[in-house]
Amino acid sequence: MFLFNIVSRYVKSPAHDSHSVKLSKGTEARLSDKEFKNLFNKNSRYTDPNHKVDINIEEVVAYIRKINDANLTMNDIFNQLGKARDGYVSIDSDGSRGSVLTYLLTDNKAALDFDFSEKENRLLLHSIQYFTLESQRESTERTSDDYSALIPQPGQEGVELMEAIKELGVPDWLYSSFLPGTEAQIAISYKASDEMRVTLYFDQDGDFFRLGSMTKLKDKKE
């Protein structure tokens, strides 16, 4: 399996959440493709279909804030949150490899995906998706035009991500991804009362994510 030579330290998140964000440095022996494909077999140390995690949307955002500078690995997330409900691996035709850990929240209202890409024999976190289960989504009286009114005018500063979530409620889904060395972006999505699907995009501005733009499309069943 893995050979570890890890020096770890804790990074305090801006949200001061109960889940400290753990950072690891070191080297790991590269698994063969056969071993990699078996990471999440029925005897996997990484998965337990009955395990759930107690984590809120603010703590999820705290992880996202650290993606670009903490080099969080799959083992960091596993050591922090415990076993995932499911795990998946992928091997592309060019030999690049990736994995996903999927967690179900203790309130059974949402699922959480941590996506990793292999770099220098380490599976590094590159995106997070928070998905509110369809049966648990709250209806709203806001129209798509109401959401559009939140977009800042030229020269104005966009509302911060957590301020927007506190005003609008927990989104149907939240997604973050970034390219190494670039600023991250977070998208959150809601179904408006006029049957439009609105997606708000927040650009990283130092330690903050601020609303910059929005798209809206006719909603279709997911």
Q: Write out pLDDT tens, residues 53-101.
A: 999 999 998 888 877 666 889 999 999 999 999 999 999 999 999 999 9
* Same domain as 145, residue 128: no
Is the separation of the CB atoms in 197 and 219 below 8 Å? yes
Evaluate whether residue 4 is within a structural domain. Answer: no
Question: What totals of helices (H) and strands (E) does the chain contain, helices first?
Answer: 5, 11
Evaluate whether residue 111 is within a structural domain. Answer: yes
Evaluate whether residue 5 is within a structural domain. Answer: no
* Same domain as 190, residue 173: yes
Domain boundary among 132, 157, 186: 132
Range of the domain at 33: 10-132
pLDDT digits (tens, 9 = 90+) for 153-200: 999 999 999 999 999 999 999 999 766 566 678 999 999 999 999 999
Average pLDDT rounded to a whole number, residues 34-61: 92
Which tokens go with 127?
Answer: 């995106």
* Same domain as 196, residue 107: no
Domain boundary among 70, 97, 132: 132
Q: 218 by DSSP, 3-state: which?
A: strand
Give the model's pLDDT for residue 222. Answer: 54
Give the model's pLDDT for residue 29. Answer: 78
Which tokens go with 4?
Answer: 């570890």
Evaluate whether residue 2 is within a structural domain. Answer: no
Domain boundary among 132, 158, 180: 132
Is the separation of the CB atoms in 124 and 73 below 8 Å? yes
Domain containing residue 180: CATH number: 3.30.1450.10
Give the model's pLDDT for residue 27. Answer: 53
Q: The pTM is what?
A: 0.81
* Same domain as 212, residue 128: no
Evaluate whether residue 82 is within a structural domain. Answer: yes
